[in-house]
């Protein structure tokens, strides 16, 4: 029997957002700054990459399984009924250039859920998919759109420069962050600048950080380790001194034999004063906890290859604005990112041999039902 939630979520209404008059100009400046990062890396190596999250560490075929008997407040949008969707996952780190893994920055997970039904967001009419873009921190690293633009301009100035100095700086920042964490704190700024702990990416929890519409309600989204083998990696630190791609190699080693299961969770907004749509701070989980609505499963497979990189890194875009009206991104930072995502994908599409397309079926399985190692023999050979 379906049980009701212990909280009373706030219902979505179109006038919740507060759009500032200077947002269009900030959005253009943000997109231009992000493109300057891509232009710099393209000029140096002749290959167009993402403006941020350029380095992938895992490119995975997966499936999303919506749970049965969800309460009405949780049975919303693509989670409204029991369903199993094909999906792809891209694991990455944040810089726009390809750095040695010893430069330790926040980790990201981009999830594309395939062949969903419902009214589309403006600009997403040519797709049948739903994207969620998440990072392994609960709090967005800038307090406002203007602060976001300032931090991005600083990042652009260092793109593809002084890698050796970045490695030394990252080492110092990691030591400083470790001191902060010993007294029970953490610094989003230190982590974003290169002080992120050298954690195993498969032990991380990932968060949308910013809210989205959740059907009739409003929510933040999280993807957290559920299987024992993922949870066992939550405190594992990697030695990144020698291997520049150790994060990727650890992911490849895991998926050579093991299955990963994550829980997709939502945190419903109950009050705009405590959980503002326009804010960037985490919402209080004591007031409204994250609740599981689906399982995300990735079977053993070849987790990264040049072919997979060409397919997903070059040929597929991820954007929170690629999806359903039922999961519309909310708040100023989400609105400001829309143009930048569009410009970044267009930049790659205009310069690389692989076209950027919105897949109609799982691009990693070439139409083979399900996910996992079965498709490896059809495209990539044995793992």
Asked if residue 7 is part of any domain, the answer here is no
Could you tell me the pLDDT band of residue 2, with boundaries at 50, 70 and 90?
Answer: low
User: Number of folded domains in the chain?
Assistant: 1
What is the pLDDT averaged over residues 276-302? Answer: 96
Residue 271 in domain: yes
Q: What is the DSSP letter of 15?
A: G
In a domain, 9, yes or no: no
pLDDT value at position 214? 98
DSSP 105-143: --EEEEEEE-S--SPBPTT-TT---EEEEEESSSS-S-S
Which residue range(s) make up the domain with 106?
14-363
Please tell me the distance from the alpha carbon of residue 144 to that of residue 292, in angstroms, as a whole number: 29
| Domain-located, residue 134 | yes
- Give domain status of residue 5, yes or no: no
pLDDT of residue 162: 43
10 Å CB burial of residue 4 (0-12, 13-18, 19+) is: exposed
Of the listed ranges 5-9, 162-166, 268-272, the least confidently predicted one is 162-166
Which CATH number do you get for residue 259?
Answer: 2.40.180.10
Q: Which of these, 26, 252, 255, lies nearest to 148 by C-alpha position?
A: 26
What separation in angstroms does the CA of 256 have from each of 55, 216, 233, 253? 21, 41, 16, 5
The whole-angstrom separation of Cα 206 and Cα 75 is 21
Confidence at residue 197, expressed as pLDDT on a 0 to 100 scale: 81
Query: Sign of dihedral through CA atoms 297, 299, 302, 308?
Result: negative
The helix (H) or strand (E) run that includes residue 157 is helix 145-158
- Tokens 């991005």 locate to 152
pLDDT digits (tens, 9 = 90+) for 162-213: 444 434 444 443 343 343 344 344 444 434 444 578 899 999 999 999 999 9
Which band of pLDDT confidence, cut at 50, 70 and 90, is reported for residue 240?
Answer: confident
- 279 assigned to some structural domain: yes
**Residue 201: both structure tokens together:** 């990416």
pLDDT tens-digit readout, 335-353:
999 999 999 999 999 999 9
């Amino acid at each position: 029997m379906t049980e009701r939630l212990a909280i009373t979520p706030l219902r979505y209404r179109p006038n919740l957002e507060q759009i500032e008059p200077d947002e269009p100009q900030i959005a253009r400046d943000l997109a231009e700054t992000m493109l300057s990062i891509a232009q710099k890396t393209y000029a140096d190596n002749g290959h167009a990459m993402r403006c941020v999250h350029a380095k992938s560490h895992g490119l995975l075929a997966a499936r999303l399984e919506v749970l049965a008997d969800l309460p009405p407040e949780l049975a919303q949008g693509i989670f409204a009924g029991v369903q199993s969707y094909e999906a792809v996952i891209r694991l990455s780190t944040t810089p726009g250039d390809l750095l040695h893994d010893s430069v330790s920055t926040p980790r990201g997970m981009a999830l594309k859920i395939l062949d969903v039904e419902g009214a589309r967001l403006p600009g997403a009419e040519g797709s049948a998919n739903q994207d969620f873009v998440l990072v392994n921190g609960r709090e967005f690293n800038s307090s406002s759109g203007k602060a976001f633009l300032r931090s991005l301009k600083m990042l652009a100035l260092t793109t593809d420069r002084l890698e050796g100095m970045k490695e030394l700086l990252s080492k110092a920042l990691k030591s400083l962050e470790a001191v902060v964490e010993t007294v029970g704190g953490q610094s989003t700024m230190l982590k974003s600048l290169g002080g992120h702990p050298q954690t195993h990416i498969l032990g991380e929890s990932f968060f949308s950080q910013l809210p989205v519409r959740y059907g009739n309600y409003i929510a933040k989204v999280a993807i957290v380790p559920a299987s024992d083998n993922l949870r066992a990696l939550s405190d594992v630190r990697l030695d990144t001194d020698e291997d520049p791609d150790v994060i990727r190699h650890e992911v490849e080693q895991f998926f050579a034999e093991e299955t990963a299961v994550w829980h997709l969770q939502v945190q419903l907004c109950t009050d705009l004063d405590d959980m503002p749509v326009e804010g960037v701070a985490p919402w209080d989980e004591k007031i409204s906890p994250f609740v599981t609505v689906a399982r995300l499963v990735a079977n053993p497979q070849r987790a990264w290859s040049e072919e997979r990189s060409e397919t997903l890194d070059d040929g597929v875009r991820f954007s929170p604005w690629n999806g359903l009206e039922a999961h519309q991104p909310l708040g100023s930072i989400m609105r400001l990112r829309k143009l930048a995502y569009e410009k970044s994908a267009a930049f790659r599409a205009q310069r690389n041999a692989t076209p950027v397309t919105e897949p109609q079926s799982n691009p990693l399985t070439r139409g083979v039902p399900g996910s996992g190692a079965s498709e490896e023999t059809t495209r990539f050979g044995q793992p």
